[in-house]
Structure formats: structure tokens, C-alpha cells
Amino acid sequence: MTNTISLLEDLIRIPSYVGNGCDEAAIADFVVATLSELPGNWSVECQPVDGTRKNVYVANSADPEILLTAHLDTVPPSDAWVRDPFVPVREGTRLYGLGAVDMKAGLATILSTLRRCANTDKKIAALFYVGEEYDFCGMKAFASSSTIAPRLIVNPEPTDLLVYRGCRGVLECRFSVEGRAAHSAMGKDGVNAIRVVQGATDDLVRRLAMLPDEGLGVSTVNLAWIRGGLAVGGEIVARSNVVPPFAEAVIEIRIASVLVDEPFVLAILAESIERAGGKTTAADVSFRVGPMVGPSIGNTPFDVFATGDPKATGYFDTQLFVESRGGSAVVCGPGPSAVAHQADEYVDLRDVERLDEALGRLF
């Protein structure tokens, strides 16, 4: 455990957010240097992803049965930090620092376990990858090129030591609607584009409710952003005496069913908009990642922890690998998850100790 905390402190000292001239290159180099201490039967490879950004992969077998994963990046530090985000500070059972819980504690635990249990007879691999907090570029690159097919994939993302074997997917869509302007006193002569957007969103919610998944529940829709009004000189302005003929919106769907894809969503929106008298002038799905529903692989060291509800958690990009290569996933890491991405982020070292023990038993 002392070795794990020391590694975690070293990792916190290395900025690994993306932007302002910073990326994950330095922390990847640190990981490579740490892995170089492993016995000769372990091989370390770097996978270029984008410029200086790279994934790091280590394995003691060409066909590992277990894959451990951890992302190298963090969110950028905000101005709300009171402490120095890159100076680890321990207060009781808390260790403060940017990325402490999300997810440098999980990263440190994997590195520590690899060093401690390097002589295992089990076929093990670990992936340390870039871009999880931004665009999933690291996991996408690995999943699309990898030929391994492990039976178990372990991801120690912050979950408060709850075990998740699945998660809902995510789809983001931006669309715009053309209605018909009219004097507000004669609203029946117009088509209110803002109301058409709301109606199309409501119709989508109703259709998604018809496709529940036993484990992941019902797909949900968040109407995240909307604007509408009258186009004047290239600007959208508010005119209270005019039925708004234009609106655009961004929605996010948390996908429970594999049937919910880009054509499905765009078709429902288009049908609803046309039925309401409007016209779809633009519609684009910026990204979609599917849901992950994984069966239990049987007894694992993580069975000592409680099971989390996949309907009440976010997306884990482990899904990208499972979708491409198969296998069963276990997502379980320290907490408190509620402070991830927050100023003065910290990790509970008691959780780190329990995770350390579970990973050790996995070897």
C-alpha cells in the first residue's frame, strides 16, 4: 500500500490534462519507466495516437486472459482550486490532487500490483491510454487495432467500490427546425419552431420508452440546449409579437437499447417535425457510443464489493473495447466519485487499500 500511495503522489505531480501546451506525453513516459522494472517476460509497447500522445500497453503473454485498463488524462484544473492541483497533500485518509480519484488512484494501483505480482502464472495485460476525458481517442485507437481477446477486462474508474458490469451508451444530436412566422395574435396561422423542437423531443422520449433493456432500463433524453426566434440580419432575435419560425437544439440520449442508433433517432425527429408542420433544416449526430451489458464472469476478487446500478451511472469507455473484442467487464474503483472533476479533488485512501487488495488477488 505504501508503494501505491507513493506512485499516486508521483502521478499527481505530472500534469496530464489536454490543452495549453499540456498532454499525456510526460505521464506516459513515467508509466513506461515504471514498467521497465518488470521482469523480462513482460513486454512494453507504445501506440502513437495523436502527435506526442500515446497509449502504453504491457503484457506477459500474447493472448492475455485479463486486461487491466486506466486512462492517463485528467480534466484541466479550474480556477476554483484552493490547493495546488499538482502538489499531492495527505490529510487523514484523504489524498488531494488533480486526478487523485479520476483516475490516478486506479492507475497507481495497477502499476503497483504489476510490480508486486509480476511473477504471476496468469496471463495478464494492462493498457494505459489517452483521451478518456475528451474524445475517447486512446481507447478507440486500441480497440480498433487490437487482436487480443481477454475474458475479463477490469477498469478501476472511481465508482465508490461499487461493481458495474454494464453501462448505458451516449448519443449527441444537434438539429434545427424551420417553422412558419405569423403575428402572435394569429398564432394558428404560424408554426412555432420552438414548440416543434419540444414536441419532437417528447415524441423521442415516448418511442424510447418502448425499447427497455432488462439491465439498463429505458433510454433517457436530455434537452441540453435550445435557442429560437426570428432571423434578422443573420442573428436569431426575440420578437414577442412573432411566432418564432426558427429553432435549434442539442439533445443527449443515454442509450439503454442497442437498437437506438443514428438512423433510428433522426427518423423519429424528422417524422415528428414534419407531423407538426415544420421542416428539418439540419440534423447531425456528433457521436454515438453504444451500451455495454456484460454477463458476470463468475467468481472474481471484486465479488466482495456491492453491485452498482448501471442505470444510475455514466458511460465507461471500456464499452468500446468490449464491443470490438468481446469479454466481460468489471468497472470498480475508489471514491468518492462525486468529487471527480471538482476543485480540490481527493481520493479516499481506505478505498485505495481495498482496491489494492482486490487487484492483488486477481493475479
Interval 239-253: pLDDT, tens: 999 999 999 999 999
Structure confidence at residue 295 (pLDDT): 67
At 158-197, the pLDDT tens digits run: 999 999 999 999 999 999 999 999 999 988 899 999 999 9
Residue 293 predicted with pLDDT over 90? no
Whole-number Å distance between alpha carbons of 248 and 8:
45
Where does CATH 3.30.70.360 sit in the chain? Answer: 169-288
**What pTM was computed for the model?**
0.88
Please give the C-alpha separations between residue 55 and each of 67, 106, 121, 161, in angstroms, as whole numbers.
14, 16, 25, 26
CATH superfamily of 2-167+291-362: Zn peptidases (3.40.630.10)
Classify domain 169-288 by CATH number: 3.30.70.360
Structure confidence at residue 194 (pLDDT): 97
Residue 314 predicted with pLDDT over 80? yes
Whole-number Å distance between alpha carbons of 275 and 29:
57
Total Cβ atoms within 10 A of residue 233? 5
Calculate the average pLDDT of the chain. 95
Q: Which residues lie across from 70 on neighbouring strands?
A: 128
Whole-number Å distance between alpha carbons of 254 and 288:
10
Structure confidence at residue 250 (pLDDT): 98
Where does CATH 3.40.630.10 sit in the chain? Answer: 2-167+291-362
Residue 339, C-alpha cell as written in the block: 468529487
173 contacts 264 by C-beta, under 8 angstroms: no
At 13-57, the pLDDT tens digits run: 999 999 999 999 999 999 999 999 999 999 999 999 999 999 999
Structure confidence at residue 233 (pLDDT): 84
Structure confidence at residue 131 (pLDDT): 97
Quote the percentage of the chain above a pLDDT of 70. Answer: 99
Total Cβ atoms within 10 A of residue 21? 5
77: Cβ contacts below 8 Å, ≥ 6 apart: 17, 85, 86, 98
- pLDDT average, residue stretch 311-321: 92
Residue 137 predicted with pLDDT over 90? yes
pLDDT band at 273 (very low <50, low <70, confident <90, very high): very high
Q: What angle do CA 8, 13, 19 make, to 5 degrees?
A: 115
Whole-number Å distance between alpha carbons of 191 and 175:
17
The secondary element (H helix, E strand) that includes residue 45 is strand 43-50
